[in-house]
Amino acid sequence: MISIDRPTADLGDVRVTNRAAVLRHVRRHAPCSRADVAARTGLNKATVSSLVAELIEHGLLRETGLTENRVGRPATTLVLDGSRYVGLGLSVGADELVAVAAGLGGDPVLTWRRAFPAAAGPEETVKALAALTRRAVTRIGADRTVLGLTVAVPGLVDPDGDVPAAPALGWRGVPLAASMRRALRDRDFPVAVDTEANLAVLAERRHGPYAATTDLVHLTGGPAIGAGLISGGRLLRGGRGFAGDVGHLPLAADGPACDCGRRGCLTALLGVDAVIRRLLPGAGPVTDHLPEIERIQALARAGDEPVRTGLTEIGRLLGQAASVLSGLLDPEVVVVGGHLAALAPWLLPAAHAELAARTPVPPGVRLEASTLGSAAGALGGATAALATVEAGRLPAG
């Protein structure tokens, strides 16, 4: 609800803001009654009734049964609907493309993975992404409307959707958003691009166990390490949109060489290629990371001493990285994703100990493994594509 000390606010903006407040309350507290919404948002009952009727008409809320847990007559309860609408998210990885479509209530409509080498280059990647988008739109069907598409990239993304650099993909200066719009010239929905880390942290905040967390970091796991940053409930982007580019944060001056030309960077220590090289020295060049991570898991479960020792050392480095992020941002939780989440049973004990030793004021930040899996970036893309509706703007049509 907007403050009453803004008498010059446009009435349309007021309604949009109040509509968003109703949707937000129902999302967090459903099933709930109109009276519950009015009491918790501060809106009067007539305004809530009008907004709810509008949101039901547009297929964003629906009524579901009665509740007896109140004085007086039973009240009709409300839940998010959104069955007419989906957001679509795609993510580009070093060895795969992922597509996720999700409804307003967070219900997954589809999740697809397609093996695809980043070495194919930007042009071929755009073609593959466009084909995957068309296939997803067809599968979603005519009875649902795609409200938007957001593509997640493991690299830097500027406000125009260009990718100045994505070393994990071998990209530099790629106008990805513009290229996707050209490739999808028959689209009738907006197309955006963001970093994998930014979208993953949005997914954590919306769909993970940290929905009430206002200060949250998601540390991506993959060929490059990035951080999605939520502070005070808002996504931090920085002046150029590059906030969270922590992959070249130096942790060990005598560490392994990094592609950037320096030594001991976070990516060179904790990136998936670095972890595989360290724990499976005979693996050779890796084009498909999942089998190698599964192999490491199997060796760790079997008690392989070199692998277990290596995981402990990597865990200490992870704890050191988390302590730096904690000192800079003071988050409540740092969540690790990708291969770091997959290896969390062996990484986190040492990481927790290192983090505790470096945290001056206990209890300090929590360090946890993501529960969203490798689709977190794409799921965040689908979430971002729904943002306009969640902000109170009614979908067209």
- Window from 40-49, 270-279, 286-295, 348-357 with minimum mean pLDDT: 286-295
Token pair 């999942």: residue: 290
pLDDT at 8: 38
pLDDT at 397: 58
Alpha-carbon span 57 to 51, nearest angstrom? 10
**∠ CA 172-239-198, rounded to 5°:** 65
pLDDT at 12: 63
Whether 365 has a pLDDT exceeding 60, the answer reads: yes
Whether 384 has a pLDDT exceeding 80, the answer reads: yes
pLDDT at 110: 92
Whether 146 has a pLDDT exceeding 60, the answer reads: yes
Q: Could you give the 3-state DSSP secondary structure of residue 230?
A: strand
> Is the pLDDT higher at 104 or at 184?
184
Q: Rounded to the nearest 5°, which phi and psi values hold at 213?
A: -85, 120
Whether 70 has a pLDDT exceeding 60, the answer reads: no
Whether 135 has a pLDDT exceeding 80, the answer reads: yes
Q: How far is CA 220 from CA 104, 244, 253, 362, in A?
A: 25, 10, 22, 25
- Quick: pLDDT tens for 215-246: 999 999 888 899 999 999 999 999 888 899 99
Q: Residue 155: what residue type?
A: G
The mean pLDDT value for 174-197 works out to: 94
* pLDDT grade for 360, boundaries at 50, 70 and 90: confident
Which tokens hold the place of 21?
Answer: 């407040």
pLDDT at 3: 29
* pLDDT grade for 72, boundaries at 50, 70 and 90: low
- Window from 34-38, 143-147, 346-350 with minimum mean pLDDT: 143-147
Q: Rounded to the nearest 5°, which phi and psi values hold at 99?
A: -120, 135
pLDDT at 10: 53
Whether 300 has a pLDDT exceeding 90, the answer reads: yes
Whether 23 has a pLDDT exceeding 50, the answer reads: yes
Which tokens hold the place of 88?
Answer: 């679509």
Q: Which strands make up the sheet holding 366-369, listed edge to edge?
A: 234-235, 227-231, 216-219, 333-336, 366-369
Whether 1 has a pLDDT exceeding 70, the answer reads: no
Whether 68 has a pLDDT exceeding 60, the answer reads: no
pLDDT at 4: 32
* pLDDT grade for 124, boundaries at 50, 70 and 90: very high
End-to-end CA distance of the chain: 26
The mean pLDDT value for 131-141 works out to: 93
Look over the chain and give the mean of its residue pLDDT values, rounded to a whole number: 89
**∠ CA 47-53-58, rounded to 5°:** 130
Whether 2 has a pLDDT exceeding 50, the answer reads: no
pLDDT at 246: 93
- Quick: pLDDT tens for 54-66: 999 998 999 987 6
* pLDDT grade for 73, boundaries at 50, 70 and 90: low
DSSP 224: S
- Window from 10-19, 154-163, 193-202, 351-360 with minimum mean pLDDT: 10-19
Whether 22 has a pLDDT exceeding 90, the answer reads: yes
